[in-house]
Amino acid sequence: MPSASTSPTLLRFGILGAARIGPEGLIKPARDHPEATVTAVACRDPARGTQYAKKWGIPKVYSGPEGYHELIADPDVDAVYVALPNGLHYEWTMRALQAGKHVLIEKPITSTADEARQIFALAEEKGLVALEAMHSTFHPATQRVREIVLSGELGKVKSAEVMFRVPTWMTFFIFEKNDMRYEYDLAGGCSMDMGVYSIDAIRYATGNETTALEVTSATATPHPADPTRIDRAMHATYALPAASDSVTVAETTTDWAAPGWGPFGLLPRMPVDTLTVRLERGAVELYNFVSPHLYHYIAVRPTGDSEGAATTAAAARTEKVYRYADGRGGEGWSTYRYQLEAFVDRIRGRTPWVWIEPMTSVTEMETVERVYAKVNTSSSRV
């Protein structure tokens, strides 16, 4: 790949934060994209920033108290990837937009819906692209589930459910000891992390991605790191916009440290990552809705017509989709690679295969706010 200095066609990225998500979220996908490259990273800690840049082959490192400012001001940076803790997304996205940079923002886009509105208003004013990095939306498997659900093949939506649970034993490999997710001032909490994936999956699959859901109940399990303000787990129910004569409901269960089961909880659980949509004449299930590029299956299970007539067993099927129907994409493409394709296309004036509209990100945060409000009895979250 030609260097950024000799190829004006390359979109040059700078990363704010030497984050663990950086390699999968942008660095590796950019290596495989003919129009993208990572030219800079900013990190408060000089040693960590230098090590990160060396490991991933990033030419420039900005560090110290002015490091973020310096990266944003760099004329050789066209787009900024905000990989900072949740509570810093709004400030540094707004600064990057003010500096004339396109911005790819890790999910959740902000801490509040109002902050998200301000980001998109400024991006529109500046003629720039701002995108929430809800990477799972861009995968062909996600699109296929939505297509099946909205096609009418199995009738109208009756209910939807997400189970997204990480067992305690896995958290030692996924989270750091003093993880930013446990800090209230950085907009931590399970619902701000796993919860947005779950809410997004239900809304997108059922065609309600631009609507904030009505939250009918919410029950939080406190996290020991901050039991009065941070949720370790959340169970919430929702009323989806009516798609049939009966009530259409949804449910999310998220837990990033699910204890074991059996006597004294000694038996380890396995992770669960499943979206299920139940319709009038059957159900559609997507296993591994967050990272379908690693492995997934789409189970389509017809149960009969609206009068209960039996459907032939042959109608039931399992699909696996790693490319779009017209062949676009690649067998080895991750969700992040599909996301990068869309982001670059949008900036270059091409129509992306899939796009997340501003209202989708705004109403996602409105829904999260409603979940916490349903739990709250004070200024704390849980």
Mean pLDDT, the chain, rounded, equals: 91
Alpha carbon separation from 115 to 92, 172, 272 (Å, rounded): 12, 32, 31
Which of the four pLDDT bands, split at 50, 70 and 90, describes residue 5? Answer: very low
| pLDDT for position 354 | 96
Which of the four pLDDT bands, split at 50, 70 and 90, describes residue 171? Answer: confident
Overall average pLDDT of the 173-185 stretch? 80
How far is C-alpha 71 from the chain's CA centre?
Answer: 25
Q: Which domains does the chain have, with CATH numbers?
A: 11-133 (3.40.50.720), 137-375 (3.30.360.10)
By mean pLDDT, which of 32-41, 191-200, 255-264 is the weakest? Answer: 255-264
Q: What percent of the chain is predicted at pLDDT more than 90?
A: 77
pLDDT over threshold 90, residue 382: no
Pairing of strands 249-258, 157-167: parallel
3-class secondary structure, 368? helix
Q: What is the pTM of this model?
A: 0.92
By mean pLDDT, which of 71-80, 87-96, 235-244 is the weakest? Answer: 235-244
| pLDDT for position 270 | 85
| pLDDT for position 9 | 83
Cα–Cα distance, 66 to 269 (Å, whole number) = 44
**Which residue bears the tokens 């399970």?**
190
The closest of 83, 79, 94, 68 to 135, measured between CA atoms, is 83
Active site residues per annotation: 107
Overall average pLDDT of the 118-135 stretch? 98
Cα–Cα distance, 80 to 25 (Å, whole number) = 13
